[in-house]
């Protein structure tokens, strides 16, 4: 860390403490050359996840879009709100932990369907019908048959 007074590049940390509810660390430093003290802040650099949509356009991942889609699928079903929130958090964590900074909307949809299959089968079928854009009743029945065969 460069000293703001003399531009010397070495300093020692005298004190560190978390600030802003643990999202940043405040460090008091002392220049090894001039002896003056200064404060620095350290934060986690967040790299956004970019979603590649079906039309090849790109946008930043929006957690609320995923949440709203899953909430709509679970409407009038016995699914607790925090269950949906936990599922969305799990999906977001999976995306953050992957090495890819770009993810397809298909991948996000598949992760959501996998979670919904475990949460509520009716919500799963609702979400799948929109996500997979079923063209007719036969494709819808094929999806239901797959679900029944897995049981």
What's the rounded mean pLDDT across residues 45-56? Answer: 88
Question: Beta strands 37-43 and 24-31: pairing type?
Answer: antiparallel
Whether the per-residue pLDDT at 131 is higher than 70: the answer is yes
Taking the C-alpha atoms of residue 92 and residue 88, their distance in angstroms, rounded to an integer, is 6
> Which neighbouring-strand residues pair with 41?
26
pTM of the model as a whole:
0.65
- pLDDT, one tens digit per residue, over 92-127 is 999 988 888 899 999 999 999 999 989 998 898 888
As a whole number, the mean pLDDT across the chain is: 89
- pLDDT, one tens digit per residue, over 18-44 is 987 778 999 999 999 999 999 999 988
Taking the C-alpha atoms of residue 5 and residue 36, their distance in angstroms, rounded to an integer, is 8
Rg (CA), the chain: 24
The domain segmentation of the chain, as residue ranges, is 11-43, 50-150
Whether the per-residue pLDDT at 52 is higher than 70: the answer is yes
Confidence category of residue 134, pLDDT binned at 50, 70, 90: low
The string of DSSP letters for 20-77 reads GGGTEEEEEEEETTT--EEEEEEEPPPPPPEEE-TTS-EEE--HHHHHHHHHHHTTTS
């Amino acid at each position: 860390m460069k000293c703001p007074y003399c531009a010397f590049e070495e300093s020692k940390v005298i004190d560190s403490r978390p600030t802003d509810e643990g999202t940043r660390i405040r460090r008091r430093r002392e220049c090894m050359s001039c002896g003056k003290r200064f404060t620095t802040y350290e934060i986690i650099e967040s790299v956004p996840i970019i979603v590649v949509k079906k039309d090849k356009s790109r946008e930043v991942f929006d957690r609320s879009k995923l949440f709203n889609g899953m909430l709509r699928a679970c409407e009038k079903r016995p699914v607790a709100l925090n269950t949906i929130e936990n599922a969305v958090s799990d999906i977001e964590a999976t995306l953050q932990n992957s090495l890819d900074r770009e993810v397809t909307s298909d991948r996000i949809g598949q992760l959501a369907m996998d979670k919904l299959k475990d949460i509520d089968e009716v919500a799963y079928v609702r979400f799948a019908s929109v996500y997979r854009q079923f063209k007719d009743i036969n494709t819808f029945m094929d999806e239901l048959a797959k679900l029944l065969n897995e049981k």
